[in-house]
């Protein structure tokens, strides 16, 4: 065992000495790196080191790369990178290399002769140049094709960095000549348009009036023929190279002039349309379109020709109901296709009638003062557009379809109908009923309030208030209020209460609900209480202080109280102003304090209520206002 341990220790010592020996081996002198310390993105430079046997590396290949053996650096993107030339991990030299960024040139790399493409580079401050200005020129990034061929476009910065692209300038299609066209009548085959030659690989597009595309043919090496076409206009042909997209307008034009078809039509007109008064002569007139200079007409009744064809466009006779009157037009217009047209009309005869009119009035023939009325006629045989003359109390008031005005009591209204019905015995008629208007006066009530035994009362003394109304009519609504708040249930002409507080203003609002009522009136009295005050009242011995929070409330509130007595119960009672109990309960005093929450939400209507809290010989009365 001891020999084994000695062997291990000896082995470890010998290994450590070997490693130390390697570290202490001296590093040979390495020459400095030579060459440029800047490179453009996308460009190459050569770095060298006179000490042979080393390897090249870059600290950031996203900025610059370097061939490990040759030292050729390629700029990738703007920034810096550390270039290292190393003989071993511990023997090396470095150089900081700056890479100047220049974005690539963007834009089309091909242009047609006579056209411009826009080239751009995201790096500002450079200048543009063309290697062959006989092929293409460039200014401010606008490259113009001069002649077909190739040229190198360069964008160079002041620091010497540049980008290049090869720009191809494509030739235009060869020129040929447009022929054909002519003037034709509509309805024929039309006109043919041609091109005297063509090339394979070229599309030849036909346009009308420079903008409307008509047709397209592929080049065949021979002449092309389009059509025929019957649409007028000036036609041109544009050749488009299928591969390069270069275009050229071919020489010449082809015009097509079209004489439109004159399609004749005819309709029958009668002053009374197709309705005729019985036993009356009717005249029918042919209304023509594209009839020509001297059209002819043939009239028929129920299919029977009325004489021969003539130049007359009118025909008169005495029809009977159901007759079918028709006409045939013979047109001599240029290019009239077809040359004839027909129309017919079925005749209806109606007897003569006597017009009449009756009247109605809205809202009625009895109205209140200051309410306008509208009189509305109901005509019989009034025709499509009758007129009305309105007569009030024997004098013409207006001429209008209806009559609206503010009436006076006893007004008498009638009207005269002037009919435009086609077949009339007489053209006017007086209304069959007259309207006699009754105007009722408005009821504006006057209210007086009296108090019994009077407006000055003692504590808890009952007081009876009575409302006397003049000019209110037979139907009245009453609502009593205390200090502006309605008292629920107090809706008669008397109001009795024993819970009035000092200086309460008690008002009776009266509204007439008769036919001409609706205007409210009111009167009030002020109650003086010889004992009560508007705040807290101690009606027996003992101190108490009570607050209602909040007040007014929507029905949810808290009673906070302080009583001289320390313990016991507090009785809580809520009554309306008519003395009816709407809530009653008891609560425990804690060291003379009372805090009691009440929720009456939705149980009571808006108005004034009295909250009475009694405890320890003291009674406190508070007024509660519920507002929803």
- Which helix H or strand E contains 12, and what residues bound it? helix 2-23
Specify the pLDDT at position 462. Answer: 84
**Residue where a domain terminates, one of 292, 319, 350:** 350
Question: Higher pLDDT residue, 626 or 218?
Answer: 218
pLDDT band at residue 399, thresholds of 50, 70 and 90?
very high
Domain assignment present for 49:
yes
The answer to whether residues 152 and 205 belong to one domain is no
The answer to whether residues 247 and 189 belong to one domain is yes
User: In DSSP terms, which residues pair with 468 in a beta bridge?
Assistant: 448
The dihedral formed by the CA atoms of 382, 387, 391 and 396, expressed in degrees to the nearest 10: -150
Range of the domain at 87: 38-100
Specify the pLDDT at position 171. Answer: 96
**Predicted TM-score (pTM) of this structure:** 0.41
Specify the pLDDT at position 530. Answer: 64
The answer to whether residues 113 and 161 belong to one domain is yes
Mean pLDDT, the chain, rounded, equals 87
Average pLDDT (186-209) is 91
Find the range with the poorest average confidence among 11-15, 296-300, 319-323, 476-480: 11-15
| 517-569 per-position pLDDT tens digit | 777 888 888 888 765 443 334 333 455 778 888 888 888 888 888 877 767 88
User: How many Cβ atoms sit within 10 Å of the Cβ of residue 466?
Assistant: 15
Average pLDDT (429-438) is 94
Which is nearest to 107 in space by CA: 122, 124, 119? Answer: 119
Q: Which CATH number goes with the domain that contains 125?
A: 2.60.40.1080
Domain assignment present for 96:
yes
pLDDT band at residue 25, thresholds of 50, 70 and 90?
low
Q: Which CATH number goes with the domain that contains 568?
A: 2.60.40.3080
The answer to whether residues 402 and 422 belong to one domain is yes
pLDDT band at residue 11, thresholds of 50, 70 and 90?
very low
Specify the pLDDT at position 258. Answer: 83
The answer to whether residues 211 and 224 belong to one domain is yes
Domain assignment present for 9:
no
Separation between Cα atoms, residue 551 and residue 626, nearest integer Å: 8
Domain assignment present for 247:
yes
Average pLDDT (387-406) is 95
The answer to whether residues 323 and 272 belong to one domain is yes
Separation between Cα atoms, residue 479 and residue 275, nearest integer Å: 68
The answer to whether residues 224 and 284 belong to one domain is no
Strand-pair category, 435-436 with 412-418: antiparallel
CB-count burial class (<10 Å; 0-12, 13-18, 19+) for 599: exposed
User: In DSSP terms, which residues pair with 268 in a beta bridge?
Assistant: 286
Q: Are 541 and 575 in contact (CB under 8 A)?
A: no
pLDDT band at residue 3, thresholds of 50, 70 and 90?
very low
**Residue where a domain terminates, one of 440, 470, 486:** 440
Specify the pLDDT at position 483. Answer: 87
Q: Which CATH number goes with the domain that contains 508?
A: 2.60.40.10
For the chain, give the percent of residues with pLDDT over 70: 93
**Which residues of 381-452 form beta strands (DSSP E)?**
387-392, 395-399, 403-405, 412-418, 428-430, 435-436, 438-440, 446-452
What one-character-per-residue DSSP string does 501-558 give? -TTEEEEEEEEE-STT---EEEEEEEEEESS--SS----SSS-EEEEEESSSBSSEEE
- Which helix H or strand E contains 457, and what residues bound it? strand 456-457
The answer to whether residues 55 and 87 belong to one domain is yes
Which is nearest to 491 in space by CA: 503, 505, 474, 508? Answer: 508
Separation between Cα atoms, residue 253 and residue 208, nearest integer Å: 10
State CA 463 to chain mean position distance: 65
The answer to whether residues 453 and 377 belong to one domain is no
Who contacts 112 (Cβ-Cβ below 8 Å, separation ≥6)?
Answer: 145, 169, 170, 171, 172, 244, 245, 246, 247
Domain assignment present for 15:
no
Q: Are 88 and 30 in contact (CB under 8 A)?
A: no
The answer to whether residues 450 and 521 belong to one domain is yes
Domain assignment present for 25:
no
**Residue where a domain terminates, one of 465, 497, 529:** 529
User: How many Cβ atoms sit within 10 Å of the Cβ of residue 441?
Assistant: 10
| 98-149 per-position pLDDT tens digit | 988 878 899 999 999 999 999 998 888 889 999 999 999 999 999 999 999 9
Domain assignment present for 70:
yes
**What's the number of domains the chain is made of?**
7
The answer to whether residues 345 and 363 belong to one domain is no
For the chain, the residue count is 628
Q: Torsions phi, psi of 3, nearest 5?
A: -60, -40
Average pLDDT (173-186) is 90
Residue 18: is its pLDDT beyond 80?
no
CB-count burial class (<10 Å; 0-12, 13-18, 19+) for 152: middle
Residue 593: is its pLDDT beyond 90?
no
Domain assignment present for 420:
yes
The answer to whether residues 515 and 450 belong to one domain is yes
């Amino acid at each position: 065992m001891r020999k084994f341990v000695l062997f291990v220790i000896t082995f470890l010592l010998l290994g450590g000495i070997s490693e130390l020996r390697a570290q202490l081996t001296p590093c040979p002198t390495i020459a400095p790196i030579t060459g440029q310390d800047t490179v453009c993105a996308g460009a190459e430079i050569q770095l060298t080191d006179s000490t042979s046997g080393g390897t090249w590396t870059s600290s950031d290949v996203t900025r610059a790369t370097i061939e490990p053996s040759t030292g050729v650096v390629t700029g990738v993107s703007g920034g810096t990178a550390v270039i290292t030339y190393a003989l071993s991990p511990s023997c090396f030299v470095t150089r900081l290399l700056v890479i100047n960024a220049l974005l690539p040139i963007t834009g089309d790399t091909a242009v047609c002769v006579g056209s411009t493409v826009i080239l751009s580079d995201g790096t500002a401050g450079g200048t543009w140049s063309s290697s062959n200005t006989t092929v293409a020129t460039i200014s401010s990034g606008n490259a113009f094709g001069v002649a077909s061929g190739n040229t190198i476009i360069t964008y160079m910065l002041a620091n010497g960095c540049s980008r290049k692209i090869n720009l191809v300038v494509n030739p235009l299609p060869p020129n040929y000549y447009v022929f054909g066209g002519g003037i034709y009548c509509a309805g024929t085959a039309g006109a043919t348009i041609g091109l005297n030659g063509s090339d394979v690989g070229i599309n030849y597009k036909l346009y009308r009036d420079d903008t409307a595309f008509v047709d397209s043919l592929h080049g065949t090496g021979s002449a092309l023929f389009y059509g025929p076409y019957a649409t007028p206009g000036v036609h041109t042909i544009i050749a488009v190279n299928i591969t390069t997209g270069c275009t050229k307008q071919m020489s010449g034009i082809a015009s097509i002039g079209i004489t439109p078809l004159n399609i004749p039509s005819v309709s029958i007109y009668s002053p009374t349309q197709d309705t005729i008064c019985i036993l009356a002569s009717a005249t029918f007139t042919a209304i023509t379109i594209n009839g020509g200079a001297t059209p002819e007409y043939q009239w028929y009744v129920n299919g029977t020709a009325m004489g021969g064809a003539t130049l007359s466009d009118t025909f008169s006779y005495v029809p009977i109901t159901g007759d079918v009157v028709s006409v045939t037009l013979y047109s001599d217009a240029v290019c009239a296709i077809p040359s004839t047209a027909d129309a017919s009309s079925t005749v209806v005869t109606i007897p003569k009638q006597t017009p009449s009119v009756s009247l109605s009035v809205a809202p009625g023939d009895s109205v209140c003062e200051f309410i306008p009325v509208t009189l509305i006629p109901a005509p019989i045989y009034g025709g499509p557009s009758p007129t009305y003359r309105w007569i009030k109390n024997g004098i013409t008031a207006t001429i209008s379809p209806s009559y609206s005005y503010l009436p006076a009591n006893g007004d008498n209204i009638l009207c005269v109908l002037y009919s435009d019905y086609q077949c009339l015995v007489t053209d006017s008629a007086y209304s069959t009923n007259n309207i006699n208007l009754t105007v009722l006066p408005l009821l504006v009530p006057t209210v007086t309030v009296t108090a019994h035994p009077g407006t000055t009362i003692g504590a808890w003394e009952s007081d009876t208030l009575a409302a006397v109304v003049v000019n209110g009519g037979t139907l009245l609504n009453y609502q009593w209020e205390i200090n502006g708040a309605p008292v629920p249930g107090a809706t008669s002409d008397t109001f009795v209460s024993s819970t009035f507080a000092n200086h309460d203003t008690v008002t009776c609002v009266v509204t007439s609900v008769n036919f001409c009522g609706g205007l409210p009136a009111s009167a009030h009295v002020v109650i003086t209480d010889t004992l009560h005050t508007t705040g807290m009242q101690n009606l027996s011995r003992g101190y108490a202080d009570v607050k209602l929070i909040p007040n007014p409330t929507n029905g949810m509130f808290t009673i906070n109280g302080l009583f001289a007595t320390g313990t016991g119960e507090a009785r809580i009672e809520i009554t309306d102003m008519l003395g009816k109990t709407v809530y009653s309960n008891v609560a425990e005093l804690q060291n003379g304090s009372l805090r009691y929450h009440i929720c009456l939400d939705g149980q009571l209507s808006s108005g004034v209520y009295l909250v009475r809290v009694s405890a320890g010989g003291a009674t406190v009365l508070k007024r509660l206002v519920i507002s929803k």
